[in-house]
C-alpha cells in the first residue's frame, strides 16, 4: 500500500492511497490542479477515470472545499457520510452516501469509519487492502475508545499533532479561537496525541506520521519529541509541512522481530 500525502494542515488536506490497482483520495481540501501537480512531483500521473473514489472526513473547507471540482476533474465518485451536507444537486456528480461505522468497499479497498469529536460531524478513516491497513485521524477534539480501537487495527496511521498547548496559550489568537482549538471539539494537542500513542503501544500499529500541525502554534521538533516519548516501539515521524511525500504502509513491526532497523 502506497500513500501520497499531498497536503496536511489548515492550508488543505489530501492524500491518495493506492493498493491492488485501486486509488482513493482521502480528503478534498486541495484543488484539481494542485492535486495533479503534487502527484506529478511524486511521479504519479492520474488521469480522469483512474481515481476510484474521493472520501472526505468532514465538511470543513480544508478537507472538503474542493470536493465537487475534484470529483468532476477526475470523474470519480464522491463518497459522503450523512454528516456532510449534500452537494447531490451539482450536475454530473456521482455522489454516493455511506453510513459511519459500516464498511465501505471501493475497488480492492475496504474503508471503515468511526465518529470522532470535532465541531463538525467528523470521522477517522481506516483503509484496508486485505494485507495492510492505514488510519487517518485529523481534526480530533479528544481521544475516544473508538478512535483507539480503529487505529490499533492499522499498521500505520496519519494522526494530527495540531498544537503545543503552551504555544497556543501564549499565542495572539483571540480567546474564543484558543478555546475552540483546545476544547474537546477542536484539535489534538501534542500531549493528547502522545497520550493516544501511549494507548496504542502493544497494538498492531507500527508507524505514526504526525500531520495537520499548526504553523503558528507548533513546531515539528516539539510534536515529534512529545509524541515519540510516549510511543514505545512505534516509529514516529512528522510529515513535511509544505512538500508532498510518498509513504509505504508495511505490515510487520521490525522491533518485534528483533531486526536491526
As separate numbers, helices (DSSP H) first and strands (DSSP E) second, the chain gives 9, 14
Q: How far apart are CA 52 and CA 4, in angstroms?
A: 15
Applying CB under 5 A, does 128 fall inside the site for Zn ion?
no
Write out the three cell numbers for 99. 453510513
- Per-residue burial over 124-149, b if 16 or more Cβ lie within 10 Å, else e, is bbbbbbeebbbbbbbbbbbbbeebbe
Which CB atom, from 84 or from 234, has the smaller least distance to Zn ion? 84
Applying CB under 5 A, does 18 fall inside the site for Zn ion?
no
Applying CB under 5 A, does 62 fall inside the site for Zn ion?
yes
- Report how many residues bind Zn ion under the rule CB under 5 A: 3
Closest contact distance (angstroms) between CB of 252 and Zn ion is 31
Q: Quick one: which of 139, 178, 181, 206 contacts Zn ion (CB under 5 A)?
A: 139
Applying CB under 5 A, does 129 fall inside the site for Zn ion?
no
Which CB atom, from 18 or from 62, has the smaller least distance to Zn ion? 62
Taking CB under 5 A as the binding criterion, the range among 47-55, 56-64, 173-181, 188-196 that sits at the site for Zn ion is 56-64
Taking CB under 5 A as the binding criterion, the range among 35-43, 58-66, 76-84, 148-156 that sits at the site for Zn ion is 58-66
Q: How far apart are CA 95 and CA 56, in angstroms?
A: 12
Q: Tell me whether strands 104-106 and 245-248 are parallel, antiparallel or unpaired.
A: unpaired
- CA neighbor of 138 nearest in space, from 204, 34, 60: 60
Taking CB under 5 A as the binding criterion, the range among 40-48, 136-144, 150-158, 198-206 that sits at the site for Zn ion is 136-144
Q: Quick one: which of 23, 60, 66, 81 contacts Zn ion (CB under 5 A)?
A: 60
- CA neighbor of 80 nearest in space, from 109, 51, 111, 108: 111
What is the Cα 152 distance to its own chain's centre?
Answer: 15
Q: How far apart are CA 231 and CA 197, in angstroms?
A: 5
Applying CB under 5 A, does 27 fall inside the site for Zn ion?
no
Which CB atom, from 22 or from 115, has the smaller least distance to Zn ion? 115
Taking CB under 5 A as the binding criterion, the range among 61-69, 198-206, 214-222, 249-257 that sits at the site for Zn ion is 61-69
Residues binding Zn ion (CB under 5 A): 60, 62, 139
Amino acid at each position: 500500500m502506497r500513500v501520497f500525502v499531498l497536503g496536511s494542515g489548515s492550508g488543505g488536506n489530501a492524500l491518495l492511497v493506492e493498493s491492488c490497482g485501486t486509488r482513493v483520495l482521502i480528503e478534498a481540501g486541495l484543488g484539481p490542479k494542485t492535486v495533479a501537480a503534487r502527484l506529478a512531483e511524486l511521479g504519479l500521473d492520474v488521469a480522469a477515470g483512474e481515481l476510484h473514489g474521493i472520501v472526505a472526513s468532514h465538511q470543513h473547507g480544508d478537507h472538503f472545499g474542493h470536493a465537487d471540482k475534484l470529483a468532476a476533474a477526475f470523474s470519480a465518485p464522491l463518497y459522503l457520510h450523512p454528516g456532510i451536507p449534500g452537494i447531490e444537486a451539482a450536475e454530473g456528480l456521482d455522489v454516493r452516501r455511506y453510513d459511519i461505522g459500516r464498511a465501505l468497499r471501493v475497488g480492492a479497498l475496504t474503508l471503515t469509519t468511526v465518529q470522532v469529536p470535532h465541531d463538525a460531524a467528523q470521522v477517522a478513516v481506516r483503509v484496508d487492502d486485505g494485507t495492510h491497513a492505514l488510519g487517518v485521524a485529523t481534526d480530533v477534539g479528544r481521544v475516544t475508545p473508538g478512535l483507539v480501537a480503529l487505529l490499533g487495527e492499522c499498521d500505520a496511521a496519519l494522526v494530527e499533532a495540531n498544537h503545543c498547548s503552551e504555544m497556543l496559550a501564549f499565542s495572539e489568537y483571540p480567546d474564543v479561537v484558543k478555546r475552540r482549538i483546545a476544547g474537546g471539539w477542536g484539535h489534538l494537542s501534542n500531549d493528547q496525541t502522545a497520550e493516544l500513542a501511549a494507548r496504542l503501544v502493544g497494538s498492531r500499529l507500527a508507524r505514526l506520521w504526525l500531520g495537520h500541525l499548526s504553523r503558528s502554534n507548533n513546531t515539528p521538533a516539539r510534536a515529534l519529541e512529545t509524541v515519540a516519548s510516549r510511543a514505545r516501539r512505534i516509529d514516529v515521524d512528522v510529515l513535511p509541512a509544505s512538500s508532498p511525500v510518498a509513504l509505504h504502509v508495511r505490515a510487520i513491526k521490525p522491533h518485534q522481530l528483533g531486526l536491526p532497523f
